[in-house]
Amino acid sequence: MATGKQLKASKEKIDREKTYLLDEALSLVKETALAKFDESVDLCVKLGVDPRKADQMVRGAVVLPNGLGKTIRVLVFAKGDKALEASEAGADYVGGDDLVEKIKGGWFDFDTAIATPDMMGTVGKIGKLLGPRSLMPNPKVGTVTFEVGRAVNDAKSGKVEYRVEKAGIVHAPVGKASFDVEKLKGNVLCLMDALFKAKPSTAKGTYVKKVSISATMGPGVTVDVSDLQALLK
């Protein structure tokens, strides 16, 4: 872990009152990632929406072009040919009632869950266990599907689900501190493009109010939103 002096020094490198161009912001995030482990790099976006209104919910998923830099453990609820398809695609766990019973017993050694539509009755039995952990399969983000092979490949390749929280904020990982700036940049722009396209038609005023990037243990760096929009054009 970084020492107190190191953390203080890293914070002093960032001007809290300044908004940085994306390249500069990512360089600072890498420079201030001082932990002994390979820290995650996370994007935090404040949106001008009211998540309490159903027509202003921003939710979706996107496959990042450069992955997340970690192994994703995928669980699939499927049977028959679809179970075989999931296994052949590289799913770590495939099953039905057997997996439900394991999860009821407190087992959660997986990062994402996928289900075929015909299995949702079974999965619904553990909805209250999966939901709070953001592990419940959902058709809106492509995790309830008969195309299980593709869904498994997407998850393994670095698929990120995003959902606006009550405060109007979206948090999502965009890679690791060990990634070079170009890789992180590609992932950030991919996610931001998805967020801009997901703007609800009922959202009024400024849609993207603030964007910041940080490593797990590092300080946040505020990114110039107009720079992001220019890069996406």
Secondary structure (3-state) at 41: strand
CA distances for 16 relative to 31, 39, 62, 137, 177, angstroms: 16, 21, 30, 38, 21
User: Which DSSP symbol is given to 73?
Assistant: P
- Going by C-alpha positions, the residue among 162, 174, 167, 165 that lies closest to residue 216 is 174
Strand pairing partners for 169?
Answer: 46
Total-model pTM:
0.84
Q: What's the half-sphere exposure (Cβ side, CA atoms, 13 Å) at 56?
A: 17
Q: Please tell me the distance from the alpha carbon of residue 2 to that of residue 34, in angstroms, as a whole number.
A: 6
Find the helix or strand (DSSP H, E) in which 192 lies.
Answer: helix 181-197
In order of their start, the domains of the chain are: 15-67+159-232 (3.30.190.20), 74-156 (3.40.50.790)
User: Which DSSP symbol is given to 122?
Assistant: H
Q: Which residue has the tokens 């299995």?
A: 119
Q: What is the average pLDDT value for the chain, to the nearest integer?
A: 93
Render pLDDT for 30-84 as a digit per residue (tens, 0 to 9): 998 888 899 999 999 999 999 999 899 999 999 999 999 989 999 999 999 999 9
| Residue 1: pLDDT over 60 | no
Length of the chain: 233
Average pLDDT over every residue of 188-198: 96
| Residue 15: pLDDT over 90 | no
Render pLDDT for 104-133 as a digit per residue (tens, 0 to 9): 999 999 999 999 999 999 999 999 999 999
Give, to the nearest 10 degrees, the angle between helix 225-232 and helix 181-197.
Answer: 90
Q: Record the tokens describing residue 19, joined without a space.
A: 């908004």
The predicted pLDDT at position 14 comes to 85
